[in-house]
Amino acid sequence: MPGDLCAKGSPDLCSRKDRATVLPITRRTLLRAASLIPLVAGDVAAQPNAVPARVVALDWASSETLLSLGVAPIAITERDRFLSANPAFAARAPIHDLGAPWEPNLELIDALAPSIIYTSSYTKMVEPQLRRISNVVVTDLHGGRRDQLARCAGFARTVVTAFPGLADGSLLAAMEQTLARNRAVLSAPRHPPVLCVYLHSNGRFANVFGLNSFAGNVVAHVGLANAWAAPTNSNGFDYVGIEKLAAIASARMLVLGDGAKTERALKTLKTSALWNAIPAVKAGEVRLFPDVAMYGALPTAVRFSQMLVDEFAREKPDAG
Amino acid sequence: MPVNILPTRNDRVLRVSPGLLVLSMAGLALLFSVRLLTGLVPIAEWPDAIWAADGGDVPSLLFVYSHLPRIAISILAGAALGLAGTLLQQVLRNPLAEPTTLGISTGAQLALVIALLWQPWLLDHGRETVAIAGALLAAAAVFAVARSGQSSPLSLVMAGLVVNMTLGAISGVAVLYNHEYLSELFVWQSGRLEQSGWSQVLFLAPRLVCAFIVSLLLTRPLALMELGDEGAQSLGLRMAGFRPVALLVAVALSASVVAAVGVIAFVGLAVPTLVSLAGARRLKERLLWAPAFGGSLLWLADQLVQQVAIGNTTLPTGVATALLGAPLLLVLLPGLRNAAAPPAVSFAAARRLDRPWLAVSMGLAVLGLALLGALAVGKTMGGWTVAGVDAADFVARWRGARVLAALSAGTLLGLAGTMIQRMTGNALASPEILGISSGASLGAIALTVVLPGFGLASLTAATTASAGLSLIIMLAVSRTTEFSPQRLILAGVALGTIVAALSEMLIATGGSSRTFLLSWMSGSTYRVTWDTAIAAACIATVSLFASPLFARWLDVLPLGESSARSLGMNIGQARGCIAVACALMTAGATIVIGPLSFVGLVAPHLARAVGISRALPHLVAAAIAGSTIMVLADWLGRLLIFPWQIPAGLLAALVGGPYFLVLMWRRA
């Protein structure tokens, strides 16, 4: 396949001789390869000055950042699940699936001859191998510190800079604007602290998102207090028994993930005396939210912050 | 011939009566509980808290709906496991029988996992039915393979181990491709007793009571089983009916515990043993004391666990019992008598080849074909590709190291497996069972905790060091018996349980180390670099050339201890040397391929099934068979669900486990 692309006159696609020697043997391969050409060519046509970029993304945070800025990776990991979690990107869906995020298919990445590989520290163990394929950008968006939104925005800006013709700077500006608009619109005394949880389907345990989690960063950004102040693991979340939630007074509980799993859990919990005695449940302060990626990036942050603002701004602030 | 390896009536090992044992455990547990509860609600207000919980404040709610049911479930689950363990040990005449060693817990667990992933509605109504179905299937497999009553205690435990590992591999694949459920499943598997109401208690209590009543009704026939089948029949008792009923009760009760709280290891093993060591010899006494002791033991363990906070949470109770119980098993070993009963599966080759080296060269040809395929044939964007000679660079970069590593690991495991099987005279022994793989994993697990951003060098150092350490421990506990194979195997089982429990806890805790642990523990060659592969290849080459040094020992040892002695052999020395060599080889293989794969078990067996019986050709043939299996597993793992990959060790285990169970079943 790379051979075909070379013939089309894209010298950057066949800079490494050895790739051309892994010969596809089926007719279907050739047809698929041929179907790829207009796609690359189309990009070139639309952006006459742009160098066609062959981008590969190994983590979902990079994938959603790239796609939201108009840069379609040719391949991402866990493609099908990513697309069902982010249906908005279906129109510009990446063509190739690279397999599991913890073991992206190295042979396939090499055969795809990417010009750049985006990944996170998740694939740290194979970073040297990746570097031998192409340029590697290792993002550092999550964990530890509480400036995750700034890091996500910074990363998005580097994407715009890296693909001057391809990436749409106005999309980035719109996202940053929304985020800036939502900064500290809500405030702790007027609005109750929030408790972001993800329920296990047996109804006995929950993942809680603390200050250092990605969701916790968004909560802090819009000005809300996080009801879960206890220490968590390095990625900012922890799993606890439901009974631990009972100790948290006057918070609004945001149950993330509105799928069948959460429904099952809530059905089980409906009859649980302890669950019904949790202050937030008792006060009718439980809201079902769509799933928020545990390791999201700028688009998720924008979406979640807007959901939070919509949720709270609708209502009259508490007196006092 | 059933084997009684418990001490006889006269030598009471523990100098306490069962009553005192129960009272002291329960007393301590009560103290801790009261301390915990008074921290929540002062004693004077307890009645109010209990009667007015629903309208009360948060502490009294936690008191009534979290802490009290947790105490109750710990007592109930402990009692149920104690009772189930006693029944199983009595019916099977096997002091090592318990829900975990017989695969019952794993079976129940896997059935629940499968239901959760694919038919979640089953769990709303038939949770228990699902668990019992899984438990029965797993137990049936173990019994069928080991021929329950007739075989030695160790055969049953080893069949249980293979079933456990196979089911674990299946559940590994299920989880790998549904990893949104990952932490949920691992939380559940690690056996946590957190409660949020009385529903689990109300679920388990009536089942325990029923099981208890049935076992009391069965006491007389079950007690007569000690006379053996003939003795019981002469007293006019038909055994055929009682045995299945008692087994069914024990399996169903264990499955209920799994459905309620997950897997709690070792309680079912330790409790009946401790109770009889404390002097409860008659079955009726044991049936009364074992639930009482089990309940108080798990109550105490659960209270102790709650004293130590780890971040927001505590050690899962199931992990704690495994950590406490496994060393207990090692401590109890010297008290177990007559443990050296020969396992039932015979070691003789089915037929004997006149020209074994011809078979070896044919094996080499097959290996060559597998190597060629693994290196040259792959998949890419649109379909299959065959790499030509001109693609050597591509092949060397992506496939070379993996294939070399798989080849070396297979060779090492084949050699180690053959040595262990010939040394123990047991066709069911393997490096996995020796506990070295588990020891090596323990090092990797510790490393991910201590030094999250580790590299290859520290991983190699950690696994080798801990494999060596576990070897020293195992040699120490089995030295007094001249490294008796039975001792080694039991120690291996104990170590394996600790490792499984710890890794499940770590994976559930999340964080960046868990994907590494998951993929390494499932035997992936994905991360192998040329450095690792070449290191493994060096170890494999040295081992292969050193193997003739062991040939004489390995020819003589299967003949039995007395024959070996009469030939002038120092058995302790020979076994010690072989054990050290096996440990080194297993550690080398484990670094590459992780702890899971049945290659060490299957490869020597394949070689023997062909008809190779002398030690040296057996070693070479097993090395070839092992490396062929691993190379094929690595290759197919890359192709079957392209672009996703199935870890080579997992694939080998998925095929090797069932294959081996069928072989055991046919030959038993």
Whether residue B467 contacts residue B586, with contact meaning beta carbons closer than 8 Å, is answered with yes
Q: Which of A107-111, B56-60, B270-274 has the lowest mean pLDDT?
A: B56-60
pLDDT tier for residue B8 given thresholds of 50, 70 and 90: very low
Residues of A with CB below 8 A from B65's CB? 243, 272-274, 277
Q: What is the pLDDT of residues B148-189, one digit of tens each?
A: 445 566 677 777 878 887 887 787 777 777 766 766 777 777
Pairing of strands B377-380, B383-387: antiparallel
In this prediction, residue B31 carries a pLDDT of 95
Q: How far apart are CA B49 and CA B28, in angstroms?
A: 24
Q: How far apart are CA B438 and CA B448, in angstroms?
A: 15
Q: Which of A162-171, A299-308, B226-235, B488-497 has the lowest mean pLDDT?
A: B226-235
Among A86-100, B186-200, B422-436, top mean pLDDT goes to A86-100
Whether residue B77 contacts residue B260, with contact meaning beta carbons closer than 8 Å, is answered with yes
| Of the partner residues A121, A247, A264, the one whose CB lies closest to the CB of residue B58 | A247
In this prediction, residue A52 carries a pLDDT of 65
Identify residue B549 by its one-letter amino acid code. Answer: L
Shortest distance, CA A222 to any CA of chain B (angstroms) = 26
| Of the partner residues A99, A128, A201, the one whose CB lies closest to the CB of residue B644 | A99
Residues of B with CB below 8 A from A101's CB? 515
Which of residues B6 and B411 earns the better pLDDT score? Answer: B411
Comparing CA positions, the residue from A193, A188, A234 lying closest to residue A214 is A234
| Of the partner residues A241, A249, A267, the one whose CB lies closest to the CB of residue B196 | A241
Q: What is the mean pLDDT of residues B477-493?
A: 67
- Judged against a pLDDT cut of 60, whether residue B138 lies above it is answered with yes
The residue with tokens 């050193």 is B546
Helix (H) or strand (E) holding A196: strand A194-199
In this prediction, residue B312 carries a pLDDT of 62
Q: What is the mean pLDDT of residues B227-237?
A: 64
Sign of the Cα torsion A28, A33, A37, A40 reads: positive
Shortest distance, CA B389 to any CA of chain A (angstroms) = 9
Whether residue B292 contacts residue B19, with contact meaning beta carbons closer than 8 Å, is answered with no
A92 token code pair = 């510009």
- Judged against a pLDDT cut of 90, whether residue A197 lies above it is answered with yes
| Of the partner residues B187, B312, B508, the one whose CB lies closest to the CB of residue A230 | B312
- Judged against a pLDDT cut of 90, whether residue B295 lies above it is answered with yes
Q: How deeply is A207 buried, as exposed, middle or buried, from its count of CB atoms within 10 A (0-12, 13-18, 19+)?
A: buried
- Judged against a pLDDT cut of 50, whether residue B242 lies above it is answered with yes
Comparing CA positions, the residue from B250, B278, B247 lying closest to residue B6 is B278
- Judged against a pLDDT cut of 70, whether residue A28 lies above it is answered with no
Q: What is the DSSP annotation of B241-285?
A: HHHHHHHHHHHHHHHHHHHHH----SHHHHHHHHHHHTT--SHHH
Q: What is the mean pLDDT of residues B362-379?
A: 94
Shortest distance, CA B111 to any CA of chain A (angstroms) = 15
> CA-nearest residue of chain A to B67?
A243
> CA-nearest residue of chain A to B117?
A261
Q: B458 and chain A: CB distance < 8 Å anywhere?
A: no
- Domain limits, chain B: 18-332, 356-667
CB contact under 8 A, B192 and A205: yes
Helix (H) or strand (E) holding B378: strand B377-380
pLDDT tier for residue B15 given thresholds of 50, 70 and 90: low
Q: How many CB pairs under 8 A join A and B?
A: 205
Is-cis flag, bond preceding A189, omega within 30?
A: no
Neighbours of B347 (CB within 10 A): 17
In this prediction, residue B117 carries a pLDDT of 81
Pairing of strands A194-199, A205-209: antiparallel
In this prediction, residue A23 carries a pLDDT of 42
Comparing CA positions, the residue from A126, A216, A279 lying closest to residue B402 is A126
Cα dist from A75 to A102, B485, B533, whole Å: 15, 52, 29
Q: Which of B73-77, B118-122, B610-614 has the lowest mean pLDDT?
A: B118-122
pLDDT tier for residue A5 given thresholds of 50, 70 and 90: very low
Comparing CA positions, the residue from B333, B374, B341 lying closest to residue B627 is B374
In this prediction, residue B343 carries a pLDDT of 42
| Of the partner residues A97, A110, A122, the one whose CB lies closest to the CB of residue B515 | A122
ipTM value: 0.83
Q: What is the mean pLDDT of residues A268-289?
A: 88
Question: Chain B, 138-167: which have a CB under 8 Å from a chain A CB?
Answer: none
Architecture, CATH, for domain B356-667: Orthogonal Bundle (1.10)
Mean pLDDT, chain B, as a whole number? Answer: 81
**Class assignment of domain B18-332?**
mainly alpha
- Judged against a pLDDT cut of 70, whether residue B564 lies above it is answered with yes
> CA-nearest residue of chain B to A75?
B381
Q: B452 and chain A: CB distance < 8 Å anywhere?
A: yes
In this prediction, residue A216 carries a pLDDT of 93
| Of the partner residues B176, B183, B385, the one whose CB lies closest to the CB of residue A23 | B385
Q: B529 and chain A: CB distance < 8 Å anywhere?
A: yes
Q: B39 and chain A: CB distance < 8 Å anywhere?
A: no
Cα dist from B119 to A84, B126, B128, B225, B667, whole Å: 20, 11, 14, 42, 37
Which of residues B86 and B341 earns the better pLDDT score? Answer: B86
Q: What is the mean pLDDT of residues B274-288?
A: 87
- Judged against a pLDDT cut of 90, whether residue B11 lies above it is answered with no
**Axis-axis angle for helices B485-509, B456-479 (nearest 10):** 140
> CA-nearest residue of chain A to B116?
A201
Q: What is the pLDDT of residues B607-644, one digit of tens each?
A: 888 888 889 999 999 999 999 999 999 999 999 988 89
Domains of chain A: 2-181 (3.40.50.1980), 194-313 (3.40.50.1980)
CB contact under 8 A, A277 and B516: no
- Judged against a pLDDT cut of 70, whether residue A38 lies above it is answered with no
- Judged against a pLDDT cut of 90, whether residue B557 lies above it is answered with no
Residues of chain B above pLDDT 90, percent: 26
- Judged against a pLDDT cut of 60, whether residue A30 lies above it is answered with no
pLDDT tier for residue A177 given thresholds of 50, 70 and 90: very high
CB contact under 8 A, A25 and B384: yes
In this prediction, residue A302 carries a pLDDT of 96
Q: B393 and chain A: CB distance < 8 Å anywhere?
A: yes
In this prediction, residue B513 carries a pLDDT of 65
Whether residue B101 contacts residue B269, with contact meaning beta carbons closer than 8 Å, is answered with yes
Please tell me the total number of residues recorded for chain A in this structure.
Answer: 320
Among A16-25, A163-172, B460-469, top mean pLDDT goes to A163-172
Residues of chain A above pLDDT 70, percent: 82
Whether residue B255 contacts residue B313, with contact meaning beta carbons closer than 8 Å, is answered with no
Instruction: Return all residues near B30 (Cβ < 8 A) that are at least 6 apart.
Output: none
CB contact under 8 A, A103 and B62: no
Which value, to the nearest 10 degrees, does the dihedral of the CA atoms of residues B532, B534, B535, B537 take? 120
In this prediction, residue B156 carries a pLDDT of 75
Q: What is the mean pLDDT of residues B472-490?
A: 67
| Of the partner residues A24, A235, A241, the one whose CB lies closest to the CB of residue B194 | A241
Q: What is the mean pLDDT of residues A186-203?
A: 88
Residues of A with CB below 8 A from B384's CB? 24-26
CB contact under 8 A, B58 and A275: no
Q: Do domains B18-332 and B356-667 have the same CATH topology?
A: yes
Q: How many helices (H) and strands (E) does chain A have?
A: 13, 11
Q: How far apart are CA B301 and CA B322, in angstroms?
A: 11
pLDDT tier for residue B667 given thresholds of 50, 70 and 90: low
Which of residues B365 and B321 earns the better pLDDT score? Answer: B365
In this prediction, residue A306 carries a pLDDT of 95
CB contact under 8 A, B197 and A273: yes
Q: What is the largest CA-CA distance in chain A?
A: 73
Mean pLDDT, chain A, as a whole number? Answer: 81
A148 token code pair = 């995750």
| Of the partner residues A24, A246, A247, the one whose CB lies closest to the CB of residue B380 | A24
In this prediction, residue A4 carries a pLDDT of 39
In this prediction, residue B311 carries a pLDDT of 64
Whether residue B466 contacts residue B442, with contact meaning beta carbons closer than 8 Å, is answered with yes
- Judged against a pLDDT cut of 80, whether residue B666 lies above it is answered with no
In this prediction, residue B77 carries a pLDDT of 97
CB contact under 8 A, A29 and B382: yes
pLDDT tier for residue B299 given thresholds of 50, 70 and 90: very high
Residues of chain B above pLDDT 70, percent: 83
Q: B515 and chain A: CB distance < 8 Å anywhere?
A: yes
Q: What is the mean pLDDT of residues A59-80?
A: 93
Q: What is the mean pLDDT of residues A188-209?
A: 88
- Judged against a pLDDT cut of 90, whether residue B237 lies above it is answered with no
Helix (H) or strand (E) holding B504: helix B485-509
Q: How far apart are CA B80 and CA B208, in angstroms?
A: 6
Q: What is the pLDDT of residues B209-229, one digit of tens each?
A: 999 999 999 988 888 877 666
Q: B226 and chain A: CB distance < 8 Å anywhere?
A: no
- Judged against a pLDDT cut of 60, whether residue A34 lies above it is answered with no
pLDDT tier for residue B456 given thresholds of 50, 70 and 90: low
Angle B441-B500-B291 (CA atoms, 0-180°, nearest 5)? 150
Angle B237-B241-B242 (CA atoms, 0-180°, nearest 5)? 75
Residues of B with CB below 8 A from A240's CB? 312-313
Which of residues B34 and B579 earns the better pLDDT score? Answer: B34
For residue B97, how many C-alpha atoms fall within 13 Å in the half-sphere facing its CB? 30
> CA-nearest residue of chain B to A257?
B180
